[in-house]
Amino acid sequence: MSEFLTIGEPIALFASQDTDQSLKDALNFRKYLAGAEVNVAVGVSRLGHSAQYITRLGEDPFGDFIKDQLRENHVQTDYIDSTPDYWTAFQLKNKVSTGDPNIFYFRRGSAAAHFDAKTLDRIDFSEVKFAHLSGIFPAISEQALAAFRHLIDLLHEHNIRTTFDPNLRPQLWSSPQKMAATLNELAKEAEIILPGDNEGELLVGSRDPETIADFYLNQSERTQTVVVKVGPKGAYVKNKGEAGYWVKGFKVAQVVDTVGAGDGFALGLITALMEGKSQRDAVVRANAIGAFAVQAPGDNDGYPTSEQLQAFLDKNLTVMG
Ligand code: KDG
């Protein structure tokens, strides 16, 4: 039983230690756990909430590594099975002094892409308060997309509040049009949508936060809130039938790696809402965890414990006034 659940593809990440070297030339790598949705599960658990992560692993050293990492991070694994027939995914990431790193995936035909939807029928939803969905899992195969739709039906049946992060990965889709059409249709099923302003261009043809928010609020009865992530500037929030508002981001001394910030944002929002905080405070926490994430080299190693988060908020909210 858990308060939170998510489904995704976990990845063994090899992050280069050689600054500004191409992936071809880099020689030194460190291994981490990655994958957008598993990042969220790890961060939710680090803040003291029970989190269930659903996936399929290969019976291989990466699968074993991921199981160990989940155990170390106290993420529940009741709905993870493994198969000898397909490999667990892995990826390479380079280290850059500015901007976003290059990422190369080895994930086509992975174990998670062969996820068995029957696993979902075993889920105990009785304690689940929130589910987080992202646009990556439905992109990895038709089988994963069908399972994703089945999970959405189950979440609706059990009246579970859902966040949806489009998490664009154009390399996983046959065309940008197919990506936008499928993700916008899936977004209709979520109460809260978390796009980035840079994703707006491909999804709704605009980077303007209000235009993006209005698109999603108008396309579905179910969607009540859109929170558009606008990098270090913070986030633009709009609820159905209300005027939008901004929540300022936090300044960070040094950006080490931007990957994982969006997942940090999602888990900050979700945990705060699960704890009954106001929406504005939840977005403040979302921005804060995004700031933690960009200061660490792995995708989820920078996420804070509750004590670290509180200390950061005490210090920085005073400074911001
Ligand atoms: O959001 C961060 C993730 O993107 C990263 O941890 C792994 O690229 C990844 C993916 O597709 O899940």
Reported as a single tens digit per residue, the pLDDT across 5-29 is: 999 999 999 999 999 999 999 999 9
The torsion angles phi and psi of 224, rounded to 5 degrees, stand at: -105, -25
For ligand 1, the distance from its centroid to the CA atom of residue 35, given in whole angstroms, is 4
b/e 286-309 (16+ beta carbons within 10 angstroms → b)? bbbbbbbbbebbbbbbbbbeeeeb
pLDDT at 257: 78
Pocket test for ligand 1, best of 263, 289, 294, 300 (most atoms within 8 A of CB): 263
Q: Please report the ipTM that was assigned to this predicted complex.
A: 0.92
20 belongs to the catalytic site? no
Atom of ligand 1 nearest to the CA of 263: 1
Side-chain-side CA neighbours of residue 72 (13 Å): 9
Atom of ligand 1 nearest to the CA of 299: 6
Q: Which residue among 60, 197, 257, 263 is the active-site one?
A: 263
Q: Which residues line ligand 1 (CB under 6 A)?
A: 11, 34-36, 39, 103, 136, 169, 259-260, 262-263, 299
- Helix or strand run (H / E) with residue 18: strand 11-19
Mind listing the pLDDT tens digit for each residue in 281-299?
Answer: 999 999 999 999 998 888 8
Rounded to whole angstroms, the Cα distance separating 20 from 122 reads 46
- Indicate the average pLDDT of the chain: 96
For ligand 1, the distance from its centroid to the CA atom of residue 303, given in whole angstroms, is 15
Mind listing the pLDDT tens digit for each residue in 225-266?
Answer: 999 999 989 999 999 999 999 999 998 888 887 888 999 999
Atom of ligand 1 nearest to the CA of 9: 12
Atom of ligand 1 nearest to the CA of 169: 11
| Residue of 181, 264, 182, 185 lying closest to 222 (CA atoms) | 185
Q: For residue 254, count CB atoms less than 10 angstroms from its CB and return exposed for 0-12, middle for 13-18, buried for 19 or more.
A: exposed
Rounded to whole angstroms, the Cα distance separating 308 from 105 reads 32
What the block records as the tokens of 42 is 């790890």
For ligand 1, the distance from its centroid to the CA atom of residue 37, given in whole angstroms, is 8
